[in-house]
Amino acid sequence: MQASEAGTAEGRQEAPVPADNLVPGLRDDKRARRPRRRVRRYLLLSAAVLVLGLLGCGLTLYLVAQSDLNSFRTIKNPFAAIPAAQRPPVPPGALSQDVTFLVGGVDTRSPVPTTGTQAQSDVRGRTDTLMMVHLLSGGRGAYVVSIPRDSWVPIPGHGMGKVNWAYYFGGQMLAIRTVEQLTDVRIDHVAVIDWDGFKDLTNDLGGVNIDVPVTSYDSANHVTWAKGIHHLNGSQALLYVRDRYGLTNGDFGREARQQNFLRAVFEKLHDSVSLTSPLHMASLARDLSKAVSVDDTLSDSDIEHLLLDMRHLSTSNIVFATAPYFGTGQVGSQSVVNLDPALDQGFWHAFEYDTLPAFMHEEGLKPLGATTP
């Protein structure tokens, strides 16, 4: 990789955001117009890595790092304020043993951490991207589905808006209501993360290998991504996942890169936990717990059960995908993603009923991460 020092430095600066990305009613000041878009995608990847890494790494991690898992910063039960009648039903039979997480990367524009045990502020921002992570019982596999941040959806009590506005308007509770209403999938737990510390996570793993199939140039950060295998440290990884200017399909190409990076990080996490010392594993667990907040309905026994259940999880049985959409559009001043109502209902039903690979094959939907720009 040919990454100049100037390019790396730019990765630490805020990039301006078009006015059509502002939430109606928010202060239209310079600070509101400059969210850290470069880190949002990385946040989401890191959050999903946390869920998959902790649940897929096996019993050993739990045994050597239980005290660190117990120290996770918790979110007061976000489900309690949602009337039961407004929630999707618990899936029937054995499907009720599956577990679904809503994973969000929050943009607070806070100068200090806001999630995990290192949090110094409770300021709330927006989740510009969301993932649904569905863990099949018995360690049979997992589905990781991105919901595009600009998806134009109903937000309970607020009319239509971008899905990433829900967290700003009403925190985890409204984000849950919005996504459950959109998907008709019952959410069991929430994990929220901001950007602090996750470049360090990549570095703690010793870096991550990424295969770039075609040479491209990121004009915003003056980085050439040469064809071939790249070993990325934390700063380089941030440049990789936020690049869209050198990609032919912009944001959607960047989403594919993010999924590719998530796959690589999970593989590294899995290998690291499987092959290294208990001391190293405990250190890794501490690094993870510093950055993430989870809902307080996720008990220690739940974590233990999930670890035991998911110890055989690997990238070979994880499906990476995105919610079906039929293109982008304009609603007033807002640039939006139009989800595909003809496919969405069947897609999310297959997601919850453990048949997503078959549905995607039947409908010709390609999983993310198979090929990336």
Angle 259-50-39 from CA coordinates, rounded to 5° = 60
Locus of tokens 């078959």: 358
Q: What element of type H or E holds 54?
A: helix 37-56
pLDDT score of 125? 43
3-class SS shares of the chain: helix, strand, coil, % to 5: 45, 25, 35
Nearest one of 185, 188, 190 to 88, comparing CA atoms:
185
Condensed to tens digits (0 to 9), the pLDDT of residues 83-109 reads: 999 999 999 999 999 999 998 765 444
Nearest one of 245, 247, 276, 273 to 260, comparing CA atoms:
247
Segment 318-347 mean pLDDT: 93
Segment 34-44 mean pLDDT: 49
pTM for this one?
0.75
Domains of the chain in sequence order? 2-363 (3.40.630.190)
Q: What is residue 367's DSSP assignment?
A: P
Nearest one of 183, 180, 190 to 87, comparing CA atoms:
180
Question: What percent of the chain is predicted at pLDDT more than 70?
Answer: 60
pLDDT band at 120 (very low <50, low <70, confident <90, very high): very low
